[in-house]
């Protein structure tokens, strides 16, 4: 992986998506809290009535308990990112190349440990579509996600992945920086330029490059070491130029 920063420049002809500002995000979070608190309130009231005599709690105490529970649930992803991200800053492996599939090797032990810490939080963030937190989490594990990029899919090896400004990685896609094949593990970088798109459920294998403005169609497979040239669309398994699919020269 190069040490040069990703270009934040917009790609000509590709308009970066408009993303919500911090105020909108704060408003949405607040609405999330209120809606969940309201949903939990009747449960709290029923519980209060049922256990009033036994526990001796007042109605307001039950409501406050519901609010606290809701706030806890909302804060959980933040806490998980903080804990798992801190571990990632120390542990994230940053190597490429081939290794024998032998988990006694320190490199593979470290890789597995890092994945074990990274994955549960990554999957949880995916579940709740918490994209800004997800980008932060990937960065903690050595990934490079430019501002304005939206990562909906799973980044399996964050330290090997680079995603440029304004790019969108579709839901349920998988960016795999490693591939286990014939008794070996291959690690290689994935470079996604600015203004790119990775379709939903697409799979991107190690060593591949999507140049600025490139698009990988939904449910397509970008093989190891493949390159989508600037502004081109590739589709299929394995992905080929969409011009070829359309039967055009």
Ligand X SMILES: CC(C)(COP(=O)(O)OP(=O)(O)OC[C@H]1O[C@@H](n2cnc3c(N)ncnc32)[C@H](O)[C@@H]1OP(=O)(O)O)[C@@H](O)C(=O)NCCC(=O)NCCS
Which residues of this protein are in contact with ligand X, per CB under 6 A?
168, 170-171, 197, 199-200, 215, 217-220, 233, 235-236, 242, 245-246
Is the Cβ of residue 96 or residue 174 nearer to ligand X in the bound state?
174
Is the Cβ of residue 99 or residue 201 nearer to ligand X in the bound state?
201
Q: How far is the CB of 238 from ligand X (least distance, A)?
A: 11
CA triple 212-126-142, angle to 5 deg: 55
Is the Cβ of residue 67 or residue 245 nearer to ligand X in the bound state?
245
- Residue ranges in the chain assigned as alpha helix (H): 22-55, 59-91, 106-127, 131-140, 242-245
Q: How far is the CB of 235 from ligand X (least distance, A)?
A: 4
d(CA 19, CA 9): 16
Q: How far is the CB of 236 from ligand X (least distance, A)?
A: 4
d(CA 231, CA 246): 16
Q: How far is the CB of 175 from ligand X (least distance, A)?
A: 13
d(CA 188, CA 222): 14
Is the Cβ of residue 171 or residue 231 nearer to ligand X in the bound state?
171
**Residue in the shown chain whose Cβ atom is closest to ligand X:** 170
Whole-angstrom Cα Rg for the chain: 22
Q: How far is the CB of 216 from ligand X (least distance, A)?
A: 8
Q: Edge to edge, what strands does the sheet with 215-216 contain?
A: 150-151, 168-169, 197-198, 215-216, 233-235, 240-241
Is the Cβ of residue 92 or residue 202 nearer to ligand X in the bound state?
202
In the block, residue with structure tokens 């074990």: 116
């Amino acid at each position: 992986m190069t040490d040069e920063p990703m270009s934040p420049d917009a790609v000509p002809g590709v308009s970066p998506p408009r993303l919500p500002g911090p105020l909108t995000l704060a408003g949405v979070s607040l609405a999330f809290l209120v809606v969940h608190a309201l949903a939990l309130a009747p449960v709290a009231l029923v519980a209060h009535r049922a256990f009033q005599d036994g526990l001796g709690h007042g109605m307001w105490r039950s409501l406050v308990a519901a609010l606290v529970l809701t706030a806890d649930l909302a804060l959980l992803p933040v806490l998980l990112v903080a804990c798992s991200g801190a571990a990632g800053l120390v542990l994230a492996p940053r190597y490429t190349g081939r290794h024998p599939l032998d988990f006694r090797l320190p490199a593979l032990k470290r890789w597995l440990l890092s994945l074990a810490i990274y994955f549960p939080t990554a999957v949880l963030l995916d579940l709740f579509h918490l994209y800004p937190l997800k980008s932060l989490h990937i960065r903690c594990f050595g990934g490079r996600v430019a501002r304005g990029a939206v990562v909906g899919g799973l980044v399996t090896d964050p330290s090997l992945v680079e995603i440029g400004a304004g790019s969108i990685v579709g839901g349920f896609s998988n960016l795999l920086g490693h591939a286990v094949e014939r008794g070996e593990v291959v690690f290689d970088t994935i470079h996604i330029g600015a203004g790119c798109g990775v379709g939903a459920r697409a799979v991107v294998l190690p060593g591949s490059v999507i140049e600025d403005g490139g698009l990988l169609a939904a449910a397509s497979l970008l093989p190891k070491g493949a390159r989508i040239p600037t502004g081109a669309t590739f589709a299929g398994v394995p992905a080929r130029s969409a011009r070829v699919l359309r039967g055009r020269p």
